[in-house]
Amino acid sequence: MVGLEVSDDAAVWKISDDVAVIQTLDFFPPVVDDPYDYGAIAAANAMSDIYAMGGEVVLALNILGFPSDLEPEIVAEILRGGAEKVAEAGGVLAGGHTVDDREPKYGLSVMGLVHPDHVLTKANAQVGDVLVLTKALGAGIITTALKGGAADPAHVARAVESMKRLNRQAAQFLQQVGAHACTDITGFALLGHAHEMAEKSKVRLQVRVDRLPFLDGAVEYAEQWLFPAGTCRNEQAYRCGIEFAASVSEEMQQLLFTPETSGGLLASVPPERVQTLLTLFADAQAPCWVVGEVADGAGIQVL
């Protein structure tokens, strides 16, 4: 149903009229100091692709690389972080594979299930829809500042909490109201992932900077220009077709091109169902922000 030719968050294979399999994998080097948190974040990030397609996690396999001199307790903590996250997602962790590697790497290969009629892709955003985002932005620049020894521990703690949070409930709510399109915000940053949604759906996305939620510290680090190299790569890859209002500062533009880790879901929701959706999130005390709308045309307008 969804393969390389349509490039979405994960591959989808329909096996019967009621069941389609979603398959994905993701892994990366440590983003935070604490091995347990790292494992949990990497697992939440890997499973996020299943949620971005509107599915539920069933089975996961560990992908692990580490240097032979790394203390076994640290490896155990990484795996514990991942395993507990998979359990929280209602999935089964069924083994995995380990290789010797100079820099540690951890992630999951994940299988999920979805009803074939309810697959959420990037390709169905409709003109008039409202754009919602389910996590604050800025985890990427905060972990970059952390690596550079320039981050406030309080900012890091909030970013870690955000990155560890599963997108499961958010995906369930989006399914409940019949969202038209959905993707998760990770390495290509808000603008890269939004760009893909605009392109696949053949619409223009209008993103309102004054509505965008940011983690504490993110804007501060952007003002100090602590962008990772990935920001520039994303900017080069996606800046065509993105139009910034004159009021959007250069730092803000760069921040919106900065890779995120285990970010939230960006979804395109029919306008008449937005209030229901916001009520679902509010009742669950989970965050959800209206950040823009879908218009006729192409590309992205950042206002």
Partner 1 sequence: MKDEPKTVDARGLACPEPVIMTRKALQQADEVLTIVDNPTSQHNVTRMAEKAGYMVQVEQRGDGIYLHIAKGHAAQEPVPAPTAAPQQVLPTVGPLVLVVASEFMGHGEHTELGEVLIRSFFHTLGEIDPLPTTIILFNSGVKLVAEGSPVVEDLQALCARGVEVLACGTCLGYYDLKDKVAVGQVSNMYSIAETMFRAGKVVHL
Q: By CB neighbour count within 10 A (0-12 exposed, 13-18 middle, 19+ buried), where does 256 fall?
A: buried
**Which residues within the stretch 172-201 sit at the binding site for partner 1 (CB under 8 A)?**
none
Our CB check for partner 1 shows the closer of 50 and 203 to be 203
Q: State in angstroms the smallest separation of the CB of 96 from partner 1.
A: 29
Is residue 184 a contact partner of residue 265, using CB atoms and an 8 Å limit?
A: yes
Helix locations, the chain, DSSP H? 35-52, 72-88, 139-147, 153-164, 168-177, 189-201, 218-223, 229-238, 250-256, 274-283
What CA–CA distance (Å, rounded) separates 71 from 25?
26
Pick the closer one to partner 1 by CB: 4 or 240.
240
105 with 86: CB under 8 angstroms? no
Q: Work out whether 33 is an interface residue with partner 1 (CB under 8 A).
A: no
Question: Which residues contact residue 28 at a Cβ distance below 8 angstroms, ignoring those fewer than 6 apart?
Answer: 42, 45, 105, 106, 107, 261
| Least CB distance to partner 1 at residue 184 (A) | 24
Q: Judged by CB under 8 A, does residue 223 bind partner 1?
A: yes
Binding span for partner 1 by CB under 8 A among 9-17, 59-67, 193-201, 222-230? 222-230
Nearer to partner 1 by Cβ, of 144 and 162: the residue is 144
Min CB(143)–partner 1 separation in Å: 11
- Confirm or reject binding of residue 231 to partner 1 (CB under 8 A): yes
Among 67, 225, 275, 276, the residue binding partner 1 under the rule CB under 8 A is: 225
Q: Which is nearer to partner 1, 144 or 186 (CB)?
A: 144
Q: Cα separation of 93 and 116, whole Å?
A: 24
What single DSSP character describes residue 64?
Answer: E
> From the list 36, 38, 51, 227, which residue makes contact with partner 1 (rule: CB under 8 A)?
227
- Cβ-proximal residues to 144 (8 Å cutoff; 6+ apart), any chain: 221, 226, 227, 228, 258
Strand order in the sheet with 265-269: 181-184, 265-269, 130-133, 289-295, 204-207, 300-302, 242-244
User: Which is nearer to partner 1, 136 or 142 (by Cβ)?
Assistant: 142
Asked if 234 interacts with partner 1 (CB under 8 A), we say no
Check binding of 239 to partner 1 (CB under 8 A): yes
Token pair of 299, please?
């590309």
Residue number, 239 or 273, with CB nearest to partner 1:
239
User: Hey, which residues between 107 and 166 contact partner 1 (CB under 8 A)?
Assistant: 144-145, 147-150
Q: Does 202 bind partner 1 (CB under 8 A)?
A: no
- Containing 295, the helix (H) or strand (E) segment is strand 289-295
Footprint on this chain of partner 1 (rule: CB under 8 A) = 144-145, 147-150, 223-229, 231-232, 236-237, 239-244, 246, 250, 297
